[in-house]
Amino acid sequence: MRRVTKTVAALILATVSMGASAFYPNFPPPGYAARYPHPRVQANPPIPQGGYPYYAFSRPVQPYPWFATRPQVDATARPAAAPAAEQPDAGADDKQATSEDVDADIDADALASSGNREFVESLLPLIEAENQRILTLRQELLELIARLESATSLGKAQTKRLKQLARTYRVEGNPLKDADARATLISRVDSVPASLALAQAANESAWGKSRFAREGNNLFGIWTYDEDKGIVPLRRAPGKKHLVRKFDSIGDSVRYYLHTLNSHPAYASLREIRAGMRANGQALDALMLAGGLTNYSARGEQYVELIRDMIRRFELAIYDAAVANEA
């Protein structure tokens, strides 16, 4: 009995001196990741790739690119009206632009029920037609300025036209006497790559499915403070008075948007980038021009990267026609 007691005591002493870890656990850890009955909560969950609206709206099911070659579009199928006298909108809009009617045959409900590919194909002719109208206007402007700077006097109608364009595009100074005013005007009367317009329209209107696209033909998130021209946002913060602008047609929305980029002070950097491309004989690059959109959204640089990501992800550059790159 005394011998057994001594043996037990020796074992206890050995356990204390060697540590319990030498005996328990007496098997190696599993060679696979431990499984948990419930997922562990991450301190910083990853942001969905692509940002809004990718995780809110499904991507198209078509393989990319949608087309092996750029589709041929008849820009005359939905012509944009070109009134002789273009007057800037005198309303109280946050983003100033013209408001002439455009002859468009896109129905907002049909646009909302279409897929992403159909959205692009429906909107593209309107963007191209308006770009063509702007470039025709640009050519007229360049001829007027060339005539003026060659010491050839302008006629009364030509003088009036040059002043009218300066007012429409919100240019300070007299283009008849001020070379800087003329340079500013030239930088404003210019086209915008279709891929940039398509990316912004898709983002701002959720591919034509947003309430403002369906009820107000507004694809670009344009605001107004005129109660007769706007729709009250459902989540407008208390004390705020802005509304989302209503348009008579999708074509009106396209024209307003392009004129906004070309005339509003907030997008001066976009116009400077574009003017630099023109001066260097470069084709207009939508990814570079997107850098001038930091003021378009409160998200700033995050918005710029979102638009660039949409252009890349949805292969929108294939829609950039040569028309947008004419000087």
Match 């983002």 to its residue by tokens. 203
Separation CA 124–CA 190 (nearest Å): 17
The residues, any chain, with a CB within 8 Å of residue 173's CB and separated by 6 or more, are 166, 180, 181, 184
What backbone phi and psi angles, to 5 degrees, belong to 320?
A: -75, 105
* Sheet with strand 223-224: strands edge to edge: 223-224, 243-245, 230-231
CATH of domain 108-325: 1.10.530.10
Would you mind telling me the total number of residues written for the chain in this entry?
327
pTM of the full structure? 0.68
What does the domain layout of the chain look like in residue ranges?
108-325
98 DSSP β-pair partners:
88
Match 């948990």 to its residue by tokens. 36
Q: What is the dihedral of CA 262, 263, 266, 270, to 10 degrees?
A: 20
The residues, any chain, with a CB within 8 Å of residue 52's CB and separated by 6 or more, are 203, 306
- In the Cβ-directed half-sphere of 97, how many Cα atoms lie within 13 Å? 25
pLDDT digits (tens), the chain, 327 positions: 555 555 556 655 555 455 444 443 444 444 434 333 333 333 343 433 443 343 333 333 333 333 333 334 343 333 334 333 343 343 334 443 333 333 333 555 555 555 788 899 999 999 999 999 999 999 999 999 999 998 778 899 999 999 999 999 999 999 999 999 999 999 999 999 999 999 999 999 999 988 889 989 999 999 888 777 777 777 888 888 888 888 999 999 999 999 999 999 999 999 999 999 999 999 999 999 999 999 999 999 999 999 999 999 999 999 996 555 565
